Structure 1
Amino acid sequence: MTQEQASNMEVQDKWVKNPPSRPLTKPEMDRTVKAAGKILGVPLPSLLDIYHSRLTRRATRIAGDPTHPANNVFTLLPSGRRLQSLRARTSVHILQFMGCCEMDDYKSQPFSFVRAGFNGEDLMTFDINSSAWIPQSDQAVSIKQRLDLDKEFTKLAHYIFTIECPIVLSEFLKIWAHQHTVLPKVYLLQKTPSSPVSCHATGFYPESAEMFWRRSEEEIHEGVEHGEILPNHDETFQMETVLNVSLFPLKDWGKYDCVFQLYGVSNDIIIPLDKTIIKTNQRK
């Protein structure tokens, strides 16, 4: 072994035992390649040559694949040995993705959508129900074909916007509702002793609320009329639910109560059907 080979072996041993703790600069990498060539006893291509050859092979494959999204970016020069990319050098292109899931306060089925645009124009949409990519232009057909082949990516997009996004949104709604809730005042109203009794709630926020009558803690529907939720002048809301008390005897009143539920609030407001708390127009 010559003195030069021994020196190179010593460098190699130091490299293995003490690898660099930071990315190497280009001059350092060039010296490393030269040292490796001397250790192996064969000349090695420079990093720049490796970069150019791999870049050329990659560009050639893209230019030869009509289904590749960047196929029309590269054009072959007359020599047939070199490629040019005028678009990549002379302009800036913008690819945009927009995804959304919507859910109302009543916890109905969430609505989601995914859209993609290129340079300000619609490119692709994703049908959540069928998990299908729908091209919005002729140029997007080849991209759709590639996306259709990527089953895992399609499954991931469907999961994010049908499962993950609604769960996160639901948690945000709970936090927001907890911080922005106003409980109402609830009254029992009756025009005359023989009139239906109205359970009236006013001053609540947000609008997502329910109110119903129940007997022995079971919700009832017979003899019950539900009114609409109406806005107040102060941006709160009001609603009422009417019970026809002529359908049952006075001795059973104690079995009935009115229940008000506000979204985001765990405790219900329960008002028993009691003549002593009913507000009426009749003079005592």
Structure 2
Amino acid sequence: MMCGCEWDDENGATNGFWQFGYDGEDLVNLDLKNLRYISPMQQGLITQQKWNNDRAWLESCNQYLNTVCIESLKKYLQYGKSSLEKTVSPQVSLLQKDSSSSVTCHATGFYPSGVTITWMKDGEEHHEDVELGELLPNEDGTFQKTSTLTVTPDEWKNNKFSCLVEHKGINKEESEIRTNNGNSLPIGIIVGVIAAVVLLVGMAGIGYKIYHKKKKDFKPVSGSDDGSNSSAPA
């Protein structure tokens, strides 16, 4: 059994459903407008007739869907108002591995999840050779999405391409491909740092082995015949 209700906060219109199923198929469904049950299958006709003759049961369903359920829905919406009405605009970047690779428009950090990504070519919408990625969640509760455009370097150079991201009525457009300049570290430097760390760790390991071997081979010298020993406490 499934039941629920809908409420339009702009015009106040309400609606509801009350459905019963059996073995994965609809058995009887409530027609709330006409306040009667309808069965789409032969096996549910007996139940349909029985429930439609029970006016108390029909009024109970009507009362729940149009009053109790709507009041609960409004209450839950009020409880979650801060989260439901939260809006965070996306950050948009154009990413490319090299000059011959496809260009990816990456929109991230936006909430709610509804977003539209459109490629523009010389001021007109461009839909050829475009692959839209799936909507993915971020760890902080926001979302991210990508759209990839396959284009030759000459075509990109000779035309004005841009990525237009629309979210909650706000548009953000990006036309410059992001590079490793600025605060980003070039991949060569990153690899160099990692190699240096590995080298230092390797040298430390060699030093430890040499020290450990010397310590293992060390044998203390016995004191002189007169009992004196420079390492003994005074």
Q: Report the TM-score range of the alignment, normalised by the length of the smaller protein.
A: 0.3 to 0.5
Ranked by relative contact order (alpha carbons within 8 Å, sequence separation 6 or more), the top structure is 2
Q: TM-score, normalised by structure 2?
A: 0.47
Q: TM-score, normalised by structure 1?
A: 0.40
Q: Normalized per residue, which structure has more helix?
A: 1
